[in-house]
Structure 1
Amino acid sequence: MEPELSLKRTWSKPARNWKKCNYGFSWSKRKKLLGAAWIVRDYRGESLLHSRRSFANVLDLQEAKMIALCWTLKSMAAHRLDNVIIAGEDATLLKVIERPRAWPSFTFEFQTLNILLNRFSGSNRCAFSMAESAQQVQWVNPM
């Protein structure tokens, strides 16, 4: 009998003066339809804000990932949230922000995300927080 593999998602709370925004997405290759959602919680895990929406005519998975993250960042800036840690299921784009030179094929994505990050106030340090969250263990795979 083979052991059952399961992924257990865990949520790590932010520090007292910070908020954490988790975002996710689902993309249909056949329908070219993207569904995206985000939720912002405080250090106690209390939900502060959340949103979801769909995007039509999304041609590939990489575009879906980029659209979901850009929409999330635009939403955080529009709500004027400071001290936000961004975390998502796919950490690739978050890692691009942390070390753009290590990801030369993502130059366009970095430049686009960097423009969005500049919408945040100087005290936010959102870029650092995003990169930091990409390295945190978000899911545990017990063996």
Structure 2
Amino acid sequence: MSSMSIPEPQRRSIPWILWMIWKNRNMILYSDTQESLSHQLQQAIEEARLWHEVNTNSSDTDIDQGLLGAKKKWEPPLAGSVKCSVHSNWRNAVLHSGVAYIVRDYQGNVLHHSRDAITSSPNRLTAELRCLIWTLRSMKDLGYQNLVVGSDSKEAIEAVRTPKDWPRYRSDLTEITHLLTLFRSVTFETESMVSNQIAREIARSVLRDGRFNSYLALGGPPWLHQRILREATAFCS
């Protein structure tokens, strides 16, 4: 880590890379699953960057948009709307997928969060679309009308926006299109892995910790309290 021949962002990421290797080892031993190497590396780099920004009090002059317009940090909805961050933790075509959402208001306060396990999906996009169906049904049951849906699945958002271009997923997209008519307004936003980290962590805990019982709760999960608080205060600073 002291070698100046290695770029600083890479040196800062080394502890997170080691941590990802350890977590992947536990997943292989206890869940018979594992993340791809490229996914682990990307997540380690983004976690290290986020930690560095928070702990060095960096200014907001950095670029807030990632690749393809994905937001690098969580941003709140406008007053009068809520933002629902969603994620489906798909591993392969055999295992269940963990799904989760977390709903926050314009001040970053958590209103609800939920997680569940859905049956196996043939690919990641199918799992993401099924997660959206599950989420939209829940949002309707909870009485939300003005909704911003944030997802780090660019493909899922593109499919929802132009369903005719995705005929293979016609059944799920038709159901999503119908559900959207039940709300006053629904806007979709593309998130980065970092800006959607809370939903990702909740969804990941389903398979990682064997939590296959669904639940709905007020507020956010206690084990993510500090991260949620950090995101809520970041956009006010």
TM-score by length of 1: 0.77
Quote the Cα distance in structure 2 between the aligned partners of 1:101 and 1:50.
31
Query: Residue 117 of structure 2: SS of its match in structure 1?
Result: strand
Quote the Cα distance in structure 1 between the aligned partners of 2:147 and 2:100.
16
Query: Residue 90 of structure 2: SS of its match in structure 1?
Result: strand
Q: Hey, what does 1:139 align to over in structure 2?
A: 192
Quote the Cα distance in structure 2 between the aligned partners of 1:35 and 1:119.
25
Quote the Cα distance in structure 2 between the aligned partners of 1:106 and 1:60.
11
Conservation of the 8 A alpha-carbon contact between 2:92 and 2:123: yes
Q: Hey, what does 1:42 align to over in structure 2?
A: 105
Alignment partner of 1:89 out of 134, 137, 152: 152
Going by fraction, where is strand more abundant, 1 or 2? 1
Going by fraction, where is helix more abundant, 1 or 2? 2
Conservation of the 8 A alpha-carbon contact between 2:93 and 2:122: no
Which segment is superposed worse, 3-12 or 73-82? 3-12
Q: Hey, what does 1:60 align to over in structure 2?
A: 123
Across the aligned residues of Structure 1 and Structure 2, the Cα RMSD in angstroms comes to: 2.5
Q: Per-residue deviation at 1:104?
A: 4.9
Quote the Cα distance in structure 2 between the aligned partners of 1:59 and 1:78.
28
Query: Residue 25 of structure 1: SS of its match in structure 2?
Result: strand
Q: Per-residue deviation at 1:109?
A: 3.7
Q: Deviations over 1:42-68 (max 9, x none)?
A: 000000011001123334323211211
Q: 1:96 to 1:77 in 2, by over 3 A?
A: same
Q: Hey, what does 2:136 align to over in structure 1?
A: 73
Q: Residue type of the partner of 1:27?
A: W
Q: Per-residue deviation at 1:30?
A: 6.8
Q: Hey, what does 2:83 align to over in structure 1?
A: 20
Which segment is superposed worse, 43-52 or 106-115? 106-115
> 2:188 aligned with 1:125, yes or no?
no
Quote the Cα distance in structure 2 between the aligned partners of 1:33 and 1:67.
12
Quote the Cα distance in structure 2 between the aligned partners of 1:17 and 1:111.
28
Q: Hey, what does 2:230 align to over in structure 1?
A: none
Quote the Cα distance in structure 1 between the aligned partners of 2:131 and 2:99.
6
* Contiguous gaps of at least 5 residues in structure 1: none
Q: 1:49 to 1:112 in 2, by over 3 A?
A: same
Q: Residue type of the partner of 2:192?
A: W
Conservation of the 8 A alpha-carbon contact between 1:13 and 1:44: yes
Q: Residue type of the partner of 1:125?
A: S
